[in-house]
Structure 1
Amino acid sequence: MRVAILDDYQDVALQAADWSPVPATIDVFREPLGDEDAVVSALQPYDVLVTMRERTALPESALGRLPNLRLIVVTGNRNKAIDIAACAGLGITVSGTGPLTEGGTAELTWALILAAAKRLPAELASVRAGGWTSQLGTTLTRKTLGVLGLGNLGSRVAAIGNAFGMRVVAWSQNLTEERAAEAGATLVGKDELFAASDVLTIHLVLSDRTRGLVGEPELRLMKPDAWLVNTSRGPICDEDALLQACRERWIAGAALDVYDREPLPADHPLRTLDNVLATPHIGYVTEETYTSWYRDAVENIVAFAGGSPIRVRHS
């Protein structure tokens, strides 16, 4: 049996868990594999794939060209990049792992908000260059935090906003006044959410109805000194509209951890705009989360090799 660990960008997979119980040859891929043909070419010899979130897409067209593949271990509680229904038809078992370790993405969201409010990138650069201070920061107390999507993650972000003394407002398509109040937020209309927010942070699952939900009309409603923060999924926000909003200063700027295409191309304009704070999709990249996921992956492979798969996913 041959096992491929995919997209180990941090080169930590083999240290994050004890892989010695796995009865297989293990190869680690530390760089993106490329387009579908490159993925198929690289992965044809393998019986088992251990994926990292949605970094490598495995649609039915690719899965059908991997004749040796018998098990995919997916990390996290969902993976839109893998056609799990097609796996069932091809006789490929899919095993999951535990969920994200609590706190990681909410903490990164606030790291980005604070970095934007306090102008940290410019201030750090100033000190390193021998200067002292370059810009005025913003106080968040009594400002308005808008939360687009008040589920588990959005509620965590809202709680921290309340701790900072911010007014917290929220909207999503199914949000009720009662649910918003439970999370310490006030339900407002969609237009009011964008118009009133000093910081607008996105916490929705990507789906057909949320794709492109934040477009030019929504961005033009925002204040010229407001920041948009996205640590959920890139396509929820129309990237072309966001680029225009930042270039033309409809808004103060954007703080982003997610993008339409990942890794972000080297020549992408989001890398160069001075009012864009960009991190490389690291909301889930923590020692605790990786240890949990890779430990579960080892257990899944051992159980599968023994003829009794565990944590089997059907959707």
Structure 2
Amino acid sequence: MKVLVADAINEKGIENLKEVADVTVDTSITPEDLVKTIKEYDGIIVRSRTKVTKEVIANADNLKIIARAGVGVDNIDLDAATEKGIMVVNSPESTSITVAEHTMGLLLSMARKLSIADKSVKEGKWEKKRFMGVELRNKTLGVIGMGRIGSQVVNRCKAFEMDAVAYDPYLPEEVATQMGVELTDLETVLKKADFITIHVPLTPETKHLISHDEFELMKDSAFITNCARGGIIDEDALYDALKNEKIGGAALDVYEEEPPAEDSKLFELDNIVLTPHIAASTQEAQRDAAIIVADEIIELFKGGTPKNVLNMPRIDNKTYQELSPYFEICEKLGSFISQAVNGKIKDLEIVYSGELSKIDNLEILTRTVIQGVVNPFLSSPVNTVNASLVAKDRGINITEGRKTNAKGYDSLIRVKAKTENDEFSAEGTTLHEARILKVNDYWVDVIPEGHMFIAKYEDVPGSIGSIGTKLGEYGVNIGIMQVGRDEKGGRAIMILTLDKEIPTDVIKEIQALKNVYEAIGLEL
């Protein structure tokens, strides 16, 4: 077995690989040379420099695995690798401890005013009274997002004798209980917490999740830190809260614009700690990333299955060609349902009708639906291989069914999600492009893409007009509108495709309109 290490990684990973493979290290290989020589290798390790393009993969006649020593895989053509049966792996867990420790460093720096005290001493001052701090002990930690990193932060804060409350709509109660965390809503977390830490992805739902209203809910002494993604905290609102001493302090490792503008207002403040997006930057994280991907390659060469696989399992070419037209609609249906249903998903039902029902193995499509369901609320993207495990960990029960009747279409896919208080379904197919044909048993015809909006309302005169007027007031233009109803004067549903993202405040105002009983914004 031959492995090419195309980017610089920690030497320990290379040493491990040499025990089972012939390893070539060429960290300056050019794209042209990579295309010419890739056919010689069974595996390749890259970081961010080397691009494993469609052209490279087309020439990779012997390649079995592409390993990314890190998290992001923007430099790897996943679709091309999947179609050729090449496994792609990464090392997401390599940075969990590192980011958690950086978060702890920021919490301590805020609590004890370390950064401004350091600056003061270096300026020749001795301002002991100015830097009175607070202990972490007996304080309440508020965690927004209890994934790998959030969980590690909780573990460390327990050692400081802190209590913990968390907001994570998709974390099962029993898991939170095992971790010693009180699971609650966002408002309660913001009100109760002395220290708040953010560990969620940046999505349309989490953009400016923390803004003016949220700062008003916090204690005047509260501290907040963000090592997740810039944009989750509204920096203008943060500046106002810090400037007016509405909160005790803040710490950021990520920003809405990176690097921040030289004239950023945040630079004026003493009660904020700023670091340059370095939470994941440690020698140990780089070492662990190298060891993890080396172990993944070794596992594959020994006949095992790597655990961090990013693309779908291998299927025969005939089945792949039959199913590939439905990948997009499956992912879109999952994402649509996940964003539209109210509450934590407990049960997910997927039913294939028509020609699809005759195919023996539809696991790839089911995994693609699940991928679409869970990705909107996770900080690290999942894939068709690990989506089922992620759903299981989140307490989602999956049911797959088949029906012969496709209601006049070649094939239909129906996805239904249930929560404790709600259920939502959508049905779609591929007609040269992905289309949703039915929502909650209302017939519609929707292309699931871009900025979308759903309104459930009473089918009475003026309902549609009031919604359109409210959107117009805020400069939100409607591109496409589809309406479905069960009976004249009964309940109806409106699905809109918009020219731009609909602000949360506008959704709330539409929700408050007469005859409107639910309003939802989606991004597909």
TM-score (norm 2): 0.45
Structure 2 residue ranges without an equivalent (≥5)? 36-43, 312-382, 384-524
Residue 293 (structure 1) shift = 1.8
Distance 1:14 1:115 in 2: 30
Structure 1 residue 210 corresponds to structure 2 residue 206: yes
More displaced stretch, 93-102 vs 294-303:
294-303
In the alignment, which of 79, 92, 96 is matched to residue 72 of structure 2? 79
Deviation of 1:207 (Å): 4.4
Moved more, 158-167 or 143-152: 158-167
Q: How far apart, in 2, do the equivalents of 1:161 and 1:299 lie?
A: 31
After superposition, give the CA deviation of every residue in 1:54-85 in whole Å (9 maximum; x if it has no partner): xx8x8xxx957xx4466864234x53756754
The Cα shift of 1:287 comes to 2.3
Aligned-pair CA distance for 1:155:
2.8
How big is the shift at 1:228?
0.9
**Which of 289, 294, 304 in structure 2 is aligned with 1:293?**
289
CA distance in 2, matches of 1:268, 1:298: 44
For residues 246 and 45 of structure 1, the distance between their equivalents in structure 2, rounded to whole angstroms, comes to 53
- d(CA) in 1 for partners of 2:297 and 2:175? 40
Deviating more after overlay: 104-113 vs 245-254: 245-254
Confirm whether residue 117 of structure 1 aligns to residue 111 of structure 2.
yes
Unaligned runs of 5+ in 1: 29-41
What is the SS of the residue equivalent to 1:165? coil
In structure 2, the partner of 1:38 is: none
Match of 2:310 among 286, 295, 313: 313
Distance verdict in 2 for CA 1:149–1:97, change over 3 Å: closer
Distance 1:240 1:81 in 2: 31
Contact 2:96 2:152 (C-alpha < 8 Å) held by counterparts: no
**Corresponding residue for residue 36 of structure 1:** none
CA contact (8 A) 1:141 1:166 kept: yes
User: SS of the counterpart of 1:235?
Assistant: coil
Structure 1 residue 116: Cα displacement: 0.5
Larger proportion of strand: 2
Letter in structure 1 aligned against 2:26:
T
More RCO (CA 8 Å, sep 6+): 1
Q: Which amino acid aligns with 1:221?
A: L
Which has the larger displacement, 229-238 or 86-95? Answer: 86-95
Write out aligned runs for 1:166-315 (5 A). 166-262=162-258, 264-265=259-260, 267=262, 269=264, 270-271=266-267, 273-295=269-291, 311=306, 313-314=310-311, 315=383
Q: Which residue is 2:123 aligned to? A: 129
Query: Is 1:94 paired with 2:88?
Result: yes
CA 1:83–1:187: 2 relative to 1, 3 Å: same
Distance in 2, matches of 1:174 and 1:100, equals 23
Q: Which residue of 2 aligns with 1:154?
A: 150
Quote the Cα distance in structure 2 between the aligned partners of 1:191 and 1:205: 19
1:26 aligned to 2:27? yes
Task: Call closer, same or farther: CA 1:261–1:168 in 2, change over 3 Å.
Answer: same
Question: Does structure 2 conserve the Cα–Cα contact (< 8 Å) formed by 1:118 and 1:137?
Answer: yes
SS at match of 2:27: strand
The change in CA–CA distance for 1:136 and 1:50 in structure 2 (over 3 A counts) is same
Check the 8 A contact 1:23/1:302 in 2, yes or no: no
Q: 1:239 to 1:85 in 2, by over 3 A?
A: farther
Letter in 2 for 1:275: N
Query: CA 1:155/1:130 → structure 2, altered by over 3 Å: closer, same or farther?
Result: same
Seen in structure 2, the aligned counterparts of structure 1 residues 136 and 205 have a Cα distance that, compared at 3 Å, is same
Give the Cα–Cα distance (whole angstroms) in 2 for the partners of residues 26 and 195 of structure 1. Answer: 51
Shift of 1:208: 4.8
The answer to whether the Cα contact below 8 Å between 1:51 and 1:74 also exists between their aligned partners in 2 is yes
Equivalent residue letter for 2:231: P
Select the residue among 93, 98, 109 that pairs with 1:104.
98
Instruction: Assess, with a 3 A threshold, how the Cα gap between structure 1 residues 177 and 89 changes in structure 2: closer, same or farther.
Output: closer
> Aligned partners of 2:144, 2:229: CA distance in 1, in Å?
12
Change (3 A) 1:50 1:182: same
For residues 159 and 298 of structure 1, the distance between their equivalents in structure 2, rounded to whole angstroms, comes to 28
CA–CA distance in 1 between the matches of 2:78 and 2:263? 34
**TM-score (norm. length: structure 1):** 0.70
Letter in 2 for 1:26: T
Contact 2:96 2:148 in 1 (8 A): no
Cα shift at 1:190: 1.4
Q: How far does residue 129 in structure 1 lie from its aligned partner after superposition?
A: 2.6
Describe the shift of the 1:218–1:176 C-alpha distance in structure 2 as closer, same or farther (beyond 3 A).
Answer: farther
- Equivalent-residue separation in structure 1 for 2:172 and 2:296 (angstroms): 39
User: What is the CA distance between 1:229 and its match in structure 2?
Assistant: 0.9
CA distance in 2, matches of 1:227, 1:219: 10
